[in-house]
C-alpha cells in the first residue's frame, strides 16, 4: 500500500472521528430529565408555531351577477396569506356598466405586526432551545459548575415566557380581525357595485382558518412550556441553593434553641 493511499484514508477518517467523538460526548440521558425533555418540547412546538403561521395561505371570494343581460356572472377569488398585509392584496371587481369591465380593489386592514412578531419569536425560540440543548447535553459540567449559565438561562426563560403570552394573545386577536376582514360578507360589503340596483352579489369561497387556529394554539402551548420550565431552570441557579441553605440554617437554630430550653 502506498503512502498516498494511507494518508488519504486517514484524512477521510479524521472528520468521521470528530463526529463520533462529538456524538459520544453527548449525554442523551439528560433528555430523560425534566430540564432536557421540556427543552426538546420547546424546540418542537416553536417549529409548529412559526411554521403554521408563516406558511398559511387562504382565499375568499364572491359572486357578482349583473342585471344587465350583456354582462355575465363575475366570480371573484382573492388569495391572501402571511404576513397578512391585506391592504396590499388586489382583486378585480366587475362593473355592470357597458363602458368599463372591472375596477381594482383592495382588501381592508394590515395585521402584519402581530403575525410577524409571533413568527419572529418562534424562530428565536427555536435557535435558543437548540443552543441550550447543545450546552446541556455536551457541556453539562460547564453548565453546572459555572453559575452564570443557569442564571442567564433562567432570565431568558422568564423573558420568553412573557413574550409568548403577549405574542399568542396578540396574534389571537389579530387572527380574529383577519377572519372578519376576509369573510365573503365583508368582501361584498366593501364593493360599491353590490350596493346599487344594477347587480346582485352573493358570498363565494369561505377561507379555511384551521392552520391559523392551530398556530394560536401552539403559541399558548409554548407559553405553558416556558412557564413550566422556569421552575426547573430555577432549581439549577444559586438562588435555589441559597433558599435551601437558609431553611436548613433556621431549622438548625430552632433545634438548638429547643435543646437549650429542654436542658433548662
Q: Give the position of cell 403570552.
A: 165
Q: What is the pLDDT of residues 93-107, one digit of tens each?
A: 888 776 667 788 899
Within 8 A by CB and 6+ apart from 52, the residues are 211, 212, 214, 215, 218
| Domain boundaries, given as residue ranges, for the chain | 31-234
CATH classification code of 31-234:
1.20.140
Could you tell me the pLDDT band of residue 1, with boundaries at 50, 70 and 90?
very low
Q: Determine the Cα–Cα distance for residues 218 and 164; give it in Å rounded to an integer.
A: 10
CA gap 157, 146 in Å, rounded? 18
pLDDT over threshold 90, residue 41: yes
d(CA 93, CA 98): 14
Residue 72's pLDDT is: 65
Tally the C-alpha atoms within 13 A of residue 162's C-alpha that lie toward its C-beta: 5
Q: What are the cell numbers at 67?
A: 342585471
Peptide bond before residue 83 is cis, with ω within 30 degrees of 0: yes
**Averaged pLDDT for residues 203-218:** 92
pLDDT tens column, 64-81: 888 766 566 678 899 999
Q: Which one is predicted more confidently, 20 or 81?
A: 81
What are 158-191's pLDDT values in tens digits? 999 999 999 999 999 999 999 999 999 999 998 8
Predicted local confidence at residue 253, as pLDDT: 43
Amino acid at each position: 500500500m502506498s503512502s498516498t493511499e494511507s494518508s488519504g484514508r486517514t484524512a477521510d477518517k479524521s472528520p468521521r472521528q470528530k463526529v463520533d467523538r462529538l456524538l459520544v460526548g453527548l449525554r442523551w440521558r439528560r433528555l430523560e430529565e425534566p430540564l432536557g425533555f421540556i427543552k426538546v418540547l420547546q424546540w418542537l412546538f416553536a417549529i409548529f408555531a412559526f411554521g403554521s403561521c408563516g406558511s398559511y395561505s387562504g382565499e375568499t371570494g364572491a359572486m357578482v351577477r349583473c342585471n344587465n343581460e350583456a354582462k355575465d356572472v363575475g366570480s371573484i377569488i382573492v388569495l391572501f396569506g402571511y404576513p397578512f398585509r391585506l391592504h396590499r392584496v388586489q382583486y378585480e371587481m366587475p362593473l355592470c356598466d357597458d363602458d368599463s369591465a372591472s375596477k381594482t380593489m383592495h382588501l381592508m386592514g394590515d395585521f402584519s405586526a402581530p403575525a410577524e412578531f409571533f413568527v419572529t419569536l418562534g424562530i428565536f425560540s427555536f435557535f435558543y432551545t437548540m443552543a441550550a440543548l447543545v450546552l446541556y447535553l455536551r457541556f453539562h459540567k460547564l453548565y453546572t459548575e459555572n453559575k452564570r449559565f443557569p442564571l442567564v438561562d433562567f432570565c431568558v426563560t422568564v423573558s420568553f415566557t412573557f413574550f409568548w403570552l403577549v405574542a399568542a394573545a396578540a396574534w389571537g386577536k389579530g387572527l380574529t380581525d383577519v377572519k372578519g376582514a376576509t369573510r365573503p360578507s365583508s368582501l361584498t360589503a366593501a364593493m360599491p357595485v353590490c350596493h346599487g340596483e344594477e347587480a346582485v352579489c352573493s358570498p363565494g369561497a369561505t377561507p379555511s382558518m384551521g392552520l391559523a387556529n392551530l398556530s394560536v394554539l401552539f403559541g399558548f402551548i409554548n407559553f405553558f412550556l416556558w412557564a413550566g420550565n422556569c421552575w426547573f431552570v430555577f432549581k439549577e441557579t444559586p438562588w435555589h441553593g441559597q433558599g435551601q441553605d437558609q431553611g436548613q440554617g433556621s431549622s438548625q437554630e430552632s433545634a438548638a434553641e429547643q435543646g437549650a430550653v429542654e436542658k433548662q
